[in-house]
Every structure is written in structure tokens, then in C-alpha cells.
Amino acid sequence: MGLRKFKPVTPGTRFRVGASFTEITATKPEKSLVVSSNKSGGRNNTGKMTMRYMGGGHKKSYRLIDFKRDKFDIPATVATVEYDPNRTARIALLHYADGEKRYIIAPEGLQVGSVLLSGDTAAPEVGNTLKLSNIPLGSIIHNVEIHPGKGAQLARSAGAYAQLAARDGKYATLKMPSGETRLILTTCLATIGAVSNSDHANEVLGKAGRKRWLGRRPRTRPVAMNPVDHPMGGGEGRSSGGHPRSRNGVLAKGYKTRELKKYSNRYIIERRKK
């Protein structure tokens, strides 16, 4: 997994830095694990635009990903590592011993032909899924559950990982990708290793058209709007106007939007870095 710098043969490739895709082993997805996905274009059920700057983009089909890893004690062989247009990480196709096929988020360093296992009997090796109670302290993990059996919700994007810092009673202490330290039940599942495609953060699109392919339309600066359109609009000349805020007046910098009595507050030991 690496990056590819393009020769400046066009203005769009002058600063472009893209993925090398050297780890990809298959170009067509598994048909049984693909479903169609519809786009809203930012419109609601009446056709009114409720989200700005969305629309267009390349047509994509959705790959069904197994975030639960609930086929316990059944070995699975990694058949392919594939590109997924719906996420930043790479995905891997598993062929289970009983004949079932499933996609998972591919961890860094996963090779075709590797045998993976999930459950209490699995070894703490890259790609295997275990309960937090069975994972050695200090391990790098991803695809972490918040509620047992619900499926992975934490550390799922490219290059993300959490670290198992400690265990005390029925809770494990995890250092999250954001820098936050929080408690999670030891009966929750997690997968060993970091998520693949860690170089994603260093990619440079190179031109506005590639952003359009991703389904993003041009964004207008609020300062350039009229007062009727945004609280920061209007004024004579280049007046930047007031404090940064949303169209509804919610302050953008320093104003806390987290619910004060949120249920998970008691599980957070240390807040994320600012």
C-alpha cells in the first residue's frame, strides 16, 4: 500500500497524489454481496433540497460488510483484497469453511491466503476477532463494538486503530483514534490490527472534477453570501463579518454541541485532544 505521484502532463495531474492500488487483487466484486444503492442528491421525500453541496458523482453499488464477525470458530480464508467505493479502507473477501462468503474491512498487512478466525479460541493475530477480555494489553485493534453483538462502530476508517490500555472488572480502557480514553465492556468484540490504506490521508485529488466524481458539489463561502442567505453574509467589500457560525446561527468554534447528560459521559475518562 503506497502512494503514486503523477507527472504534470495536465493541470489536474500536476499536484495529484493517488493510491497505488498495489494491494488490490480483484477488480470485480462478489455478486452475492452487492446491492444497489440510491442517491438522494441532498433532497428529501418531497424533492426539496435539505442538504447543500450534494449531488452527481459516479454510480456505486454497495458491498455488504460483515461488521459483526459472528461466525465463531469457523476458519475463513482470505480470497481477495478489493477496492470499495463506499469507504476509505480496503475490503477483503472471506471464504468460510462451511461455504459462506463475507466481506470484512481489511486490516493493514492482510495477505491473500491467510486464515482468519473469530471467537474465544482465536489467537490474537492480525485479522482475528476476539472479545476485549481475551486480547493482550497494549494491542492495536480496530472494528470495536460499543454494545455487545451490535457490530463494530469504532475505528473503521482507513488507517484508524484503537489501543487496549487496561482492564478492570467488566470494563476495558481504550485509547481511541481521536485521543479520547474511554471504557468499553470486555464482552465487546474487536479485531486485531490497524485498518488498511493508512496513506489515504496523504492523497491529493488534484482537480475539482474528482471531487464531483465523489458526489460533492462546489461549496460557497458564507462570507460571499447575502445577509438573507447566511448570518455571515453581506457587508461592504471584503468584510468577514462576526463569529464563524452555521446558517442557523450555531457557533462553529468553541461552542459545545454535545448533549450535557449524554449516557456515555460516564464512560469517558479523558476527552479527546483539542
Q: 39-60, pLDDT tens digit by residue?
A: 999 999 999 999 999 999 999 9
State the cell numbers at 143.
472494528
Q: Quick one: CA torsion of 33, 39, 42, 45, rounded to 10 degrees?
A: -100
Angle at CA of residue 215, ends 51 and 63, nearest 5°: 105
State the cell numbers at 74.
469457523
User: 2: pLDDT confidence band, cut at 50, 70 and 90?
Assistant: confident
Query: Which tops the pLDDT comparison, 37 or 242?
Result: 37
pLDDT at 127: 97
Q: What is the mean pLDDT of residues 155-179?
A: 97
Is the pLDDT confidence value at 274 over 80?
no
pLDDT at 242: 81
Is the pLDDT confidence value at 169 over 80?
yes
- Per the CB < 8 A criterion, the answer to whether 20 and 182 are in contact is no
- Per the CB < 8 A criterion, the answer to whether 130 and 118 are in contact is yes
Is the pLDDT confidence value at 273 over 90?
no
Q: What is the mean pLDDT of the chain?
A: 95
- What is the pTM assigned to this prediction? 0.92
Domain boundaries, the chain: 3-201
pLDDT tens, residue by residue, 85-112 = 999 999 999 999 999 999 999 999 999 9
pLDDT at 239: 84
Q: Which CATH architecture has domain 3-201?
A: Beta Barrel (2.40)
Angle at CA of residue 182, ends 176 and 183, nearest 5°: 125
User: 238: pLDDT confidence band, cut at 50, 70 and 90?
Assistant: confident
Is the pLDDT confidence value at 138 over 80?
yes
pLDDT at 1: 63
Percent of the chain with pLDDT over 90: 94
pLDDT tens, residue by residue, 172-201 = 999 999 999 999 999 999 999 999 999 999
